[in-house]
Amino acid sequence: MGLLEGCKGLVFGIANDRSIACHIAQAVLQEKAVCGFPHLPGEKNERRVRKALEGIGVTDPWLLPCDVSKDEDLDAVFASVRERFDAIDFVVHSLAFADRAYLKPGRFAETPREVFAQALDISAYSLVAIAQRAKAMMPRNGSILAMTYFGAEKAVPGYNVMGVAKAALEACTRYLALELGESGIRVNTISAGPIKTLSAMAVGGIDEIFEWVAKKAPLRRNIHAGEVGKTAVYLLSDLSGGVTGQNVFVDAGYNIVGL
Ligand code: NAD
């Protein structure tokens, strides 16, 4: 019997086999959940997502093209979900975007208005847009989970506008938790340590961050994406039934170090 047996949900954010969302998908499928996979539209994207899912044993995935900056795409995803399921139990939001030209140490103050607005829209507002649609499909409790990073709390060189977007995402999580709690819906974030993915590689100076964490984190290493997957199972399942509005660090303890 799996911890998520009988649970249905959506995992947003698989780009390829390195994506944190792919590792979360693997972990929730192992616990017997049934999932759909909304992904950035485009033939090339779809091919990569399909290949990533094949790699974790999903041969006939339920793929849902969706650019989260478009309300019509989100509406179409939830209309498809409604056709297939009477209700869902969880949603994983594992996506973000900011123009990489401004993810370089020393360039935050130069961020143009449209770069700022796009980063906040795709990386933070999308959680609100997803939650407002998911709520109607979660009549019997539910769990919504988003991915964040330490750069929301502290100024990490190069993380720049994405740090501002993650701060907004974490605040959205608390406000959503407060409002959706009366419907039995929990909303939490995982703050993951650095992991080598497409998005991470867009951050200038990321290699130094990996080296620094491996030296300074209490566990003296970087984390594995599979560790995020396991924590996701905890936050999506009844194991965390009393937990909402929280940010759970999966970062080898790096965030507690003050020196
Ligand atoms: P990734 O590049 O594999 O995933 C990012 C995803 O965002 C991709 O699937 C991409 O298609 C999607 N995306 C971007 N714009 C979109 C849009 N408009 N509509 C729909 N989808 C869109 O990288 P990842 O590291 O797996 O990132 C997943 C999440 O984890 C992000 O929120 C990221 O900020 C967060 N995170 C990553 C790290 C890390 O070190 N990799 C650490 C902490 C948090």
Packing angle between helix 160-180 and helix 113-120, nearest 10 degrees?
40
Domain that holds residue 90: 8-253
What pLDDT does 140 receive? 83
- Give the span between the Cα atoms of 37 and 53, in whole angstroms: 9
Average pLDDT of 33-48? Answer: 98
Domain with residue 85: its CATH number is: 3.40.50.720
pLDDT value at 1 more than 90: no
In the block, tokens 């992904």 appear at 39
Inside any domain, residue 175: yes
pTM higher than 0.95:
yes
Ligand 1 touching residue 81 (CB < 6 A): no
| Structural domain count, the chain | 1
What would the pLDDT profile of 209-254 be if each residue is shown by its tens digit? Answer: 999 999 999 999 999 999 999 999 999 999 999 999 999 999 999 9
What pairs with residue 12 in β-bridges? 93
Active-site position among 102, 149, 175, 234? 149
Ligand 1 touching residue 122 (CB < 6 A): yes
What pairs with residue 192 in β-bridges? 250
What pairs with residue 146 in β-bridges? 93, 189
Inside any domain, residue 3: no
What pLDDT does 259 receive? 82
Inside any domain, residue 2: no
Q: How far is the CA of 1 from the centre of ligand 1 (A)?
A: 31
Q: How far is the CA of 154 from the centre of ligand 1 (A)?
A: 20
DSSP helix/strand/coil, 51: helix
What pairs with residue 214 in β-bridges? none
pLDDT value at 96 more than 90: yes
